[in-house]
Each structure stands twice: as structure tokens, then as C-alpha cells.
Chains A and B, each alone.
Chain A
Amino acid sequence: MNQTMTLSHDLHRDDEASKIGMWLFIFTELLLFAGLFIVYGVYRYLNPVAFHLAAEELSVTVGTYNTIILLVSSATMAMASTAIRLKNKGMTLLLLGITLFIAFMFMVNKFFEWKGKFGHGIFPGSDDLLRLGHGDTLFFGLYFFMTGLHALHIIVGFVLITIVAVRVNNNTLTADNPVLLDNSGLYWHLVDLIWIFLFPLFYLIT
């Protein structure tokens, strides 16, 4: 009776396994959004004119701006993976910091965008929306649901990257075990990937 529970679970570390696990999780996220893209596709197909007109309500400028800053944050996140491998702690922290700042800015923009829509009486179940007709109801229902779910992912990513930054700062995450940083990066790129599709579908195709 001399064995203990945690004998060798941590004996071997398998970074490749962690990476595959993260990718599998990303697959589930892609399928999750795929369900919504199917709904979008079907309703766009059934209400082409209304979707066309409703999309003009959204500001292309704000959308483009958010797209570009999110792309920049994806690049800085990817660069952080390089920086940690080059054993450049300061640079890693700087890049993670920029990523976090941009994530925050994205949310601020989103907040004002949503607030504007609410101010115009456009929100799920509102009377104004019902008066506009079926196509607009569905378009804005999907808009709030999909960008809302995406924003939720931004918040999760924000928390993840904060944890990574703290661990880099107190040297528990270094060039020897960068897998948590890499996996958080993969997650962040996923968030970017989904936005790349959300942007044209809601803002551009008018």
C-alpha cells in the first residue's frame, strides 16, 4: 500500500497531445458557429431583400475598424509565441499586453454599437423590430445572437490571455513550457477566424 494517487500522471508531459486536444476543442467551436451560419444562410436565402436592407443599418466603418484591430491582435498573439521561444520575457509581456488592450477596445466598440442599436429601439423582441417585418427581425436576432456569442468568446479569451500573462510574469511559463501560451493563441485566432466570417455577412453584404 505504498502507492499514492498522483504517482506519475505528471511524469510525462506531452505537448503534442495538448495541442491536438486544443485543436479538437477548436473543431467543436467551429461546429458550434457552423450551426449559426446554417441558420443565417437559410434565412438570408428566404429573405434576401430584407437582409440586404437591414445590413445597411450597420456601420461599415465600425465593422472595418474592429476587423482590423482584431487582426492586429491576432498577429501580436502569434508573435508572443515567437517571443517566448526567443526567451524575450519583456517582449512577450508587451505583445500579450497589446493583445489584451485590443480585446478591450473591441469590446468597447461593440458596447457602443449595441447601445446605439438599443437606442434606436432595435433589440430582440422590441416593438420597432416587429414593425420592420420578418426579415429584419431575423437579421437583427441573428446579429445580436452571433456577435453576442462571439463577444462571449472574446471575454473568455481575455481571461485566458490574462492568466498566460500572469504566468509569464512570474516565470512559471517560459520557453521550456510554452504550450499554454500557444493554445491560448490558437483560441484567440479562432475568435479572429469567426469574426472574419461574421464581418462580411453582417456589415458588407448589403
Chain B
Amino acid sequence: MSNQETETTHVSFRDVKSKYKGIFAWIFSTDHKRVGLLYLYSIVSFFVVGVLLGAAMKLELMSPGKTIMDPQAYNAIFTLHGVIMIFLVVVPGLPAVFGNFFLPIMIGAKDVAFPKLNLLSWWVYVVGALVALSALFAGGGPPDTGWTFYAPYSFKTNTNMLPAVLGAFILGFSSILTGINFIVTIHRLRAPGMSWFRLPLFPWTLYGTAWIQILATPIVGITLLMIVGERLFNIGFFDPALGGDPILYQHLFWIYSHPAVYIMILPAMGVISEIIPTFANKSIFGYKAIVISTLAIAFVGYFVWGHHMFTSGMSGTALYTFSFLTFLVAIPSAIKVFNWVGTLHKASIQLEAPFFWAASFLFVFMIGGLSGLALGALATNVHLHDTAFVVAHFHFIVFGGVGFAFMGAIHYWFPKMWGRMYNTRVATTGWIFFFIGFNTLYLPMFFLGIDGMPRRYYDYVERFHGPNIVSTIGSWVMIAGIIIILVNLIRGAKYGPITTNKNPWGGKTLEWEVDSPPTLENFEEIPVIDRSPYDYR
């Protein structure tokens, strides 16, 4: 309301003068908000590339036989789609963009604990991305192993494995640096009075995530280094011909890559835990239960990696243990869903774009989560392993979970980040297209998988034709939705009406008390916290 007068004295972080000019004022800035936006622009660019690769695969699968590409090209494209989407988009996604931008503000700090390290982590990310993508252009052709780089094929194939593997290794460093920064920030820089149980839920999930980033990423780092060693020096770690055990590679790879799923989904859960109370205008139901379930997921999630390997020939004891732990880790996720639904109970709900994303998150996350139990059970897994069912499952979790939360987050925090507003009607239209397209794209794959269609083949038998056509059409509808959303957001950021209200949605967390967009150091004066973060009434 009184923004008119404050605008003259308060300078947005975008307009702050720096010793660098133009783009250099951004790529050398240690301001956490600028670093967050740098990540946003890089990640959205890679996301678009990933989507196009995915669309190409769906086009190939529209009819049996060769449609637009040969098998080798298809193998390369699903590998690149996986590498880009996992390592460049989803793993850094929410923490690096919204974590960087909002974590310090939400805990009442002026910046993260190590601002220079923060900027370095973005640079490391860019270098890692360039190294990984150089695999496309140098001789040998793009890698064709799938994003899992399974041994022994990953050191036998003649394609460009080294840049892809080294790129993933470097990206791991970026992830670790972000994790270190966030943990120290949350430990040391909380505003006075913000006890652990007054910490908002998005920072809580970032805290859990950061621990996984620190403790799991090194394992994949060393595993990828071993692959490099295999290729360069023929050491024999995972080569059965030299006495190595390829299943050990799978163990090491999934010791990281399963917790990585929780690196992806925990911050998404945090975003949903922010959006739902704001739009329900009601205090979150079971705050402590959500916090404890976050930490429980982070811990138990470290010990379920074997459920990716049920058909690999592991011992029976390991199979039972991993299956049991997989069912165990579903419990805290279900607790969260229960709490979100409980928050909505008897609430007066504002129906706005961010809420649509959050509500549809619940829908797709439930489908993804429950289909995960079908895969976590030993008997059904044997039938479903390596089928389209698995692809549908992890897209419902990773794309449905993280993607919907990301879209929700950007629509929720948009007025704070840009100080302008997007067109809400177009935003809702975009969501409708995306939601319908998403379900049309991935739901048929569950049925195809149960019916026996394997994943990672460019071809299939005639009887799978019908659902594949539906699925491909769904991909077009979803891409239409993505285009509508992107155009709307870019237009909003450039020409949208300037928001005069610091708190357009009526949120209670600290980011709604600072200017839109925030000033360089967010707060004139560090606030003193004397209430819980969701103190509605």
C-alpha cells in the first residue's frame, strides 16, 4: 500500500549498482537472489532442451517401426534426455533456484552463509553442463547407455562416455557446495527468535535435502571416477572379465541415485507445504509431523537403493530388506499427504494458479507414490521391471512431483521475485493444458507396462499401438501448456502490472514482509521472530 513512497528509498536487488556492467553484474554477483535467478534461467533453458528430446522420443513411438529415427539415435536421445533432466534440471531445480532466492529471506538473513561459494556453485554447474553437453559434438557420437551409465556397457561402448561421466561428476560438486552452504546458513543465520520449530517448512525440506546432497553425492562421484578409470586404464572394477562385479556398480550408483530422488522430491514437498496453508488461509495441519517425516524420509531414503535392482540377482536377504524399507519410506510421504489434505479441510480456499498446481501435485503425487508400491513389492516388480510402467511411475513422481511443485513455486513467488504480476487467467489456462496433457501422456504408459511393453526401445509390437498414439498426443497437449505458461511468465516479468502489495496471497512467512522485489540485503533490520511461521488464526 505504502509502496509508492518506499520505492524512492528502497532499491530493488535488480537495480543495485555494481562494479561490473551488464551481464557481468549478474554472473559475478554474490547476491543470493541473483544467483537464484541465474540458476533459474540456466535450468529453464536445459528444461526446454530436455522437453524437446522427450517429444522426439514420443514422436518416434507414435507408430511401430522406424518413425523418425534409427535405434542408435533413440538410444542417444533417451540417454541425453535422462542426463539433462536429472543432473541439469531436477536435482538442482528447486533448491538452487527457489532455495537460493528464498531460503535466506524466509529465515530472516541477509544472504547465505558463504555468498562467494554460492556463486562458485553456479559456475561449477555451468562448467559441468558444458562438459556434459560436449559429449554431443566430439567424435564417437553421443552416449547411449541411459543416464544410469550401467557397467560394463558404459566402458565398452565406443560413444563419448567420458565427457558425460565427467560432466555428471562436476555437477555433483555444484550440488555439494549448495548443500554445504544451506546447512551452514540454516544453522548460523536464523533470525533471533527463530527456533528450529519456528523454521518454515520449505527451509526445513531444504535442510533435509542438503544433508542428502552432502552425504550421497560423493558416492556417485567416486563411482563415476571409477568408470573413468575403467575406460582410461582398464582397471577392472566392474568388468566380469577381470573379476569385477557389475552388480557392485549398480549398488554404488543407486546408493546415490535413490537418495537423489529425495533430493528432488523433498523441496517439492516443502513448496507444497508453503502454498497450501497460504491459499487455504489456515495454519498448516501437523507442522511437527511434517518436519519429522521430512527427516525420516531423508534418513530411511538412504537405505532403499536396492529396490532398483530387484531383478539383478541380489541375495534373497537383500531383496526382503530393501522391499521392507521401501514400504517403510512410503509412510512419512503418506503422512505429509494426510497433513496437506487435513490443512484443506474446512478451509476457505482462494482458487488461484499456485493453488491449482499444488492441488494437482497431490493428485499426481498420489498416483506416482502408489504405483511405486507396486514396484517396491518383490512379486509385482519381477513383472513390471524395465517396462513402460516404471517410466510412467518415475515421471509421475519426478515430473509430476517436482515439475508441478516448480510450476506452483514460480507462480506463487512470481510477484515477489519480479515485483510484477502475470495474467492469472492465462496461467490457469496453461495449467489446464499441462495437467490434461501430462495425464494423457503418462497414464497410458502404466497400462502399456502392465501389458509388457519394455522401456528404452525405439520399436514395439503392433498391439501396443493404440495407447502409444494417445500418449504421443498427450505430449503435444502438454507442450502447448508449457508454451502458454512460459510466454505468460516472460510477458508478466517484462510488461505485467507492477504489484503494489507486498503480500498479494496473504502468506505469513517472512518473504511476504519484504519489498517486491526485495532489496539487496532483504531486510532493513533483521526481524525478531515471536510466532510460528503459519500463524493464521
Contact = CB atoms under 8 A, between A and B. Distances in A.
Nearest to A5: B18
Contact of B521 (A7, A20, A32): A7
A62 to B, nearest CB: 23
Contacts of B226: 39, 145
Interface string B214-249: 111111011101100100011111000011110010
B31 interface: yes
A129 B189 CA distance: 55
Which of the listed residues A5, A9, A142 has the most CB atoms from chain B within 10 Å of its own CB? Answer: A5
A27 B255 CA distance: 16
Interface in A130-160: 130, 133-135, 137-138, 141-142, 144-145, 149
Interface in A19-55: 20-21, 24-25, 27-29, 31-36, 38-39, 42-43, 46-47
Contacts of B243: 43, 47, 133-135, 137-138
Given A27-B215, A35-B252, A39-B237, A3 B17 contact: yes
B113 interface: yes
B215 A14 contact: no
Given A5-B16, A32-B218, A24 B245 contact: no
Given A25-B180, A35-B222, A14 B188 contact: yes
B281 interface: no
B19 interface: yes
B184 interface: yes
Contacts of A31: 214-216, 218-219
Contacts of A119: none
B257 to A, nearest CB: 13
B187 interface: yes
Contacts of B398: none
Interface in B454-480: none
Contacts of B519: 3
Nearest to B180: A24
Interface string B380-416: 0000000000000000000000000000000000000
A1 B15 contact: yes
Contacts of B214: 24, 27-28, 31
Contacts of B297: none
A21 B236 contact: no
A8 B236 CA distance: 52
Given A16-B188, A125-B234, A7 B520 contact: yes
Nearest to A16: B188
Interface in A94-127: 124-125
A149 B221 CA distance: 13
Given A3-B520, A4-B17, A124 B221 contact: no
A4 B29 CA distance: 11
Given A9-B30, A9-B111, A35-B222, A17 B15 contact: no
Interface residues of B, number: 53
Contact of A32 (B29, B222, B234, B235): B222
Contact of A21 (B18, B114, B217, B219): B114
B516 to A, nearest CB: 17
A35 B176 contact: no
A4 to B, nearest CB: 6
A28 B521 contact: no
B110 interface: yes
Interface string B108-121: 00110111010000
A33 B176 CA distance: 15
Contacts of A27: 214-215
Interface in B1-32: 11, 15-19, 25, 29-31
B391 to A, nearest CB: 28
Contacts of A6: 30
Contact of A35 (B223, B234, B245): B223
A149 to B, nearest CB: 8
Interface string B185-214: 001110000000000000000000000001
B237 A138 contact: yes
A124 B188 CA distance: 46
Contacts of A25: 176, 180
Contact of B180 (A21, A33, A38, A42): A21
Closest CB pairs A-B (n = 7): A134-B243, A125-B234, A35-B222, A32-B218, A5-B18, A141-B235, A31-B218
6 contacts: A4-B16, A17-B189, A24-B184, A34-B218, A36-B222, A47-B243
Given A4-B17, A39-B248, 19 more contacts: A1-B11, A4-B16, A4-B18, A5-B17, A5-B19, A5-B29, A17-B187, A20-B187, A25-B176, A31-B216, A31-B218, A32-B221, A35-B219, A42-B245, A42-B248, A43-B243, A124-B229, A125-B233, A137-B235
